[in-house]
Structure 1
Amino acid sequence: MQKVAVVGCGAAGLCVLRHLTIPRKKDLLSSDPIRFEVVAFEQAPEIGGTWVYSPETGYDAYGLPVHTSIYKNLRTNLPKDVMCFPDFPYKPELPSFLHHSDVCAYLKDYAQHFNLHKYIKLQTKVEAVEAVPSSDGLLNNSVKWRVTYQNLSKKTSSNLAVKNDEANMISDVFDALIICNGHYSVPFIPEIQGKELFQGIVIHSHDYREPEMFADKTVVCLGARSSGIDISIELTSHANKVFLSHRGQPLQCEFPENLFEKPGIRELTSDGVVFEDGDFHQIDTLILCTGYKIDFPFLHENVGVQTEHNRVTPLYKHLIHIDFPNMAFMGLCLNVTPLPLFHIQASFVKAVLTGKISLPTADEMRKDEEEDFDERLRNGMAQHYAHMLGDKQWSYNNELATICGCELLPKYFEDIYEFVKVKRSKFPATYKEMNIDFPFED
């Protein structure tokens, strides 16, 4: 019996729980199926991770940074057909592009269906994780993991500000550890010349909740990935004027008439912005849609994990700790269909922990990791996109599935993803009104 700790109960953590606690049919037929004793830690009062919406920003009732980056009107930019675990579809009556509350409800249905709540410690914050040396005093493949945590519900007003409330700390040792704490909660704040001079409002998209507060304002959204485009379009219904500022190629799409695309920001002044084309505009608000930092504040240095430039190393296939294969990091990959990918990754992790598959040597895994990273650099990708998959997600999913012996994702996942990607690039303001039917009709 392996004792496994799971940190975080958003979509990735729930998926891991489901795979480690629900035996497959072929395992049930085995005379000695390998089982796990699993404990999952979730610091929020409920499961769902970033999909648990809160109108609040800043800090929560326990003095912790608000985790969610979901805004009030957010709808998924992927349809329900691919925004699901392959073995657990959404209710058919829901629209193709889901409101965030539908996704949160779906995750709770998933947990209830697979009876996962009994493994979860809610309102429980992991404070520290450290590697426990083996009996010979060395950190090797037989390392275990000491997890120190505290029950937040026992914190009182007198100790709320105390980061490490010693009287409330509990430590336990586990045979394996799976990190599922997400990577959309710690904002990346870029350096911008003149930012200290600007007299208007500056917020990160992490703290954006609704467009009404920007009524009659002139707003710049910096960054043109999913959140930047979605928020800038939503703002046009209330703001006087919106600038979408970014350094990429001009977007070939239809925008609302009061949304203007501009290059990056050269500098801020007391009352405005100078873009890199030299144009100056007076503005009231700057919203930084500049992404997030990957952060594992609870990891001890002896875990040996680095997160420089948002690249987590040393990891095999963006997932397995190369030096300690009984540790995994779920869901680091970017620009993917997340829930199907979690399903494949969880299957792979389970196969590693049960010994069903044998990993390459540490040197071979390290070589694989470096070759993947070097190829990205040769193709002109920035270092902070080390875990970006995009079109490579399908070969990645198939490779993991083939190695661990789980079913491949149906081909329609890729077909729908590619179909929607084209529609989203051409019609960012209206594509979510589509209802996806397979086979597709333009």
Structure 2
Amino acid sequence: PEVEDGRASIYESVVTNTSKEMMCYSDFPIPEGYPNFLHNTKMMEYYKQYAERFSLLKYIQFNTLVCSVKKHPNFSRTGQWEVTTEKDGKKETSIFDAVMVCNGHHTDPYYPLESFPAKVKLKRLCFVLTLKYINKNVKVKRSQSKVYLSTRRGCWVMSRVFDQGYPCDICFDTRFQTLLRNTLPTPIVTWLTEKKMNEWFDHAHYGLQPRDSTQFKEPLFNDELPSRIICGYVIVKPNLTEFTETSVKFNDGTIEENIDVVVFATGYRYSFPFLDESILKVENKIFLYKSVFPKNLEKATLGVVGLIQPLGPIMAASEMQARWITRVFKGLCKFPSQDEIQKDIELKQKILLTRYAFILSGFRVNLNLNCSLKKVK
């Protein structure tokens, strides 16, 4: 089915890349009879069960568009917001004491067409251009004669099945492993990570070795990709440099002719069309205090949930964010001064530059849930 603009979507075969044990909400475990990794239909069942368990549906207005969220005229005193919504063609403005922004960051695809000179008139084969969103490729290739997989910087590929057959995140995202990654010298962490990632298969032999393994990127979870590469169904290529009318050219000088389909798996842009730039300015990088609160608000009554990319399930991390936000809203947690907020944001930028060598986005975090729990208390 067609997906309307501004709405996140998934393909039919999507299965979670985090296990049910790690991603369930703390007050409602995923049913024991469910598999460790859930098909998207099972995930939807769980969310419905959660909403029913806590009688949440009566508080939710479905099929309602949020048109704008603006500061109330007396915001500096009350911290209130004017929220304008539209339903069935009718607009309504209401006053709220606080706002949580939870629209995610997988709604507006990023197509870097300006980077590739092109006169595209495509022919027979299938070509997948990707940076790290390549799971769709395994779905596409089964009905095509050949798939070319272009990667600019490489990527660690992990299986959902890890040591002794346990789910990968149960083994990889433990408190002990996090402690090691946060305390050991970077060269040792890099060596240990590379050694572990290459236990399944040698990424260099498959053309997937990260270009700079010292700049850690979140891994890709795909159980089939190595098998498809070794069987010749997927051919790994370097970065793409140019389109012609019927072909694509790569930066190693090779050219592939008669391409039928190009799939841009190049990520998403941030989009908050209902917020004024004075509240949250979007330049494909957003810096928030603790990845939650916009800076320069007189009152901390607006928080962003889920604008992060943790090493582990986003559900648990978002729950910690929501619990902290509500306590800030209630005045139960002391909120820092603007100077402290700015220093925290600058420190985060420095960490991003050190870890990733550039600031592509403001939401990549290796979230330590233990620290988050302390913050919530």
TM bin (shorter chain): 0.7 to 0.9
Alignment partner, residue 73 of structure 1: 13
Indicate if the aligned counterparts of 1:318 and 1:332 stay in contact, CA closer than 8 A. Answer: yes
Within 5 Å, which residues of 2 pair with 1:144-155? 144-151=80-87, 154-155=88-89
- After superposition, give the CA deviation of every residue in 1:62-88 in whole Å (9 maximum; x if it has no partner): xxx161320011111222222321222
**Distance in 1 (alpha carbons) for counterparts of 2:6 and 2:254:** 36
- After superposition, give the CA deviation of every residue in 1:66-113 in whole Å (9 maximum; x if it has no partner): 613200111112222223212222122222221111111111111111
Identical amino acids, percent of aligned pairs: 28
Indicate if the aligned counterparts of 1:125 and 1:149 stay in contact, CA closer than 8 A. Answer: yes
Label 1:126 to 1:95 Cα distance change in 2 as closer, same or farther (>3 A): same
**Distance in 1 (alpha carbons) for counterparts of 2:118 and 2:26:** 48
Indicate if the aligned counterparts of 2:239 and 2:251 stay in contact, CA closer than 8 A. Answer: yes
1:400 partner amino acid: S
Indicate if the aligned counterparts of 2:320 and 2:376 stay in contact, CA closer than 8 A. Answer: no
Indicate if the aligned counterparts of 1:316 and 1:322 stay in contact, CA closer than 8 A. Answer: yes
**Distance in 1 (alpha carbons) for counterparts of 2:290 and 2:84:** 28
Q: 1:346 aligns with which of 322, 340, 344?
A: 322
Q: TM-score, normalised by structure 1?
A: 0.65
**Distance in 2 (alpha carbons) for counterparts of 1:291 and 1:194:** 16
Indicate if the aligned counterparts of 1:272 and 1:284 stay in contact, CA closer than 8 A. Answer: no
Unpaired stretches in structure 1, ≥5 consecutive residues: 1-54, 60-64, 156-167, 202-216, 406-442
Label 1:354 to 1:265 Cα distance change in 2 as closer, same or farther (>3 A): same
SS in structure 1 of the partner of residue 128 of structure 2: strand
Alignment partner, residue 56 of structure 1: 2
**Distance in 1 (alpha carbons) for counterparts of 2:270 and 2:129:** 20
Q: CA deviation at 1:141?
A: 6.3
Larger RCO, structure (CA 8 Å, separation 6 or more)? 2
1:321 matched to 2:289: no
Q: 2:140 aligns with which of 232, 235, 239?
A: 235
Q: CA deviation at 1:144?
A: 1.4
1:56 partner amino acid: E
Q: TM-score, normalised by structure 2?
A: 0.76
Alignment partner, residue 371 of structure 1: 347
**Distance in 1 (alpha carbons) for counterparts of 2:265 and 2:282:** 21
Q: CA deviation at 1:327?
A: 0.5
Within 5 Å, which residues of 2 pair with 1:403-422? 403-405=375-377
2:94 partner amino acid: D
Alignment partner, residue 165 of structure 1: none
**Distance in 2 (alpha carbons) for counterparts of 1:296 and 1:343:** 21
Alignment partner, residue 108 of structure 2: 186
Alignment partner, residue 242 of structure 2: 267
**Distance in 1 (alpha carbons) for counterparts of 2:355 and 2:30:** 38
Alignment partner, residue 278 of structure 1: 253
286-295 vs 322-331, greater mean Cα deviation: 322-331
**Distance in 2 (alpha carbons) for counterparts of 1:66 and 1:375:** 31
Q: CA deviation at 1:117?
A: 0.8
Q: 2:272 aligns with which of 290, 296, 302?
A: 296
Q: 1:312 aligns with which of 274, 279, 286?
A: 286
Label 1:140 to 1:398 Cα distance change in 2 as closer, same or farther (>3 A): farther
Q: CA deviation at 1:192?
A: 4.8
Alignment partner, residue 90 of structure 1: 30
- After superposition, give the CA deviation of every residue in 1:195-222 in whole Å (9 maximum; x if it has no partner): 6411128xxxxxxxxxxxxxxx522222
Q: CA deviation at 1:388?
A: 0.5
Q: CA deviation at 1:400?
A: 2.3
Q: 2:94 aligns with which of 139, 162, 172?
A: 172
Indicate if the aligned counterparts of 1:193 and 1:268 stay in contact, CA closer than 8 A. Answer: no
Segments of 4+ moved more than 4 angstroms: 192-196
Alignment partner, residue 337 of structure 1: 313
1:251 partner amino acid: L
Unpaired stretches in structure 2, ≥5 consecutive residues: 155-206, 210-224
Alignment partner, residue 220 of structure 1: 127
SS in structure 2 of the partner of residue 129 of structure 1: strand
**Distance in 2 (alpha carbons) for counterparts of 1:97 and 1:192:** 38
1:399 matched to 2:367: no
SS in structure 2 of the partner of residue 254 of structure 1: helix
- After superposition, give the CA deviation of every residue in 1:215-255 in whole Å (9 maximum; x if it has no partner): xx522222242x31x11222221111011111113326723
Alignment partner, residue 335 of structure 2: 359
Alignment partner, residue 383 of structure 1: 359
SS in structure 1 of the partner of residue 364 of structure 2: coil
Label 1:381 to 1:331 Cα distance change in 2 as closer, same or farther (>3 A): farther
SS in structure 2 of the partner of residue 127 of structure 1: strand
SS in structure 2 of the partner of residue 317 of structure 1: coil
Indicate if the aligned counterparts of 1:129 and 1:146 stay in contact, CA closer than 8 A. Answer: yes
Label 1:261 to 1:255 Cα distance change in 2 as closer, same or farther (>3 A): farther
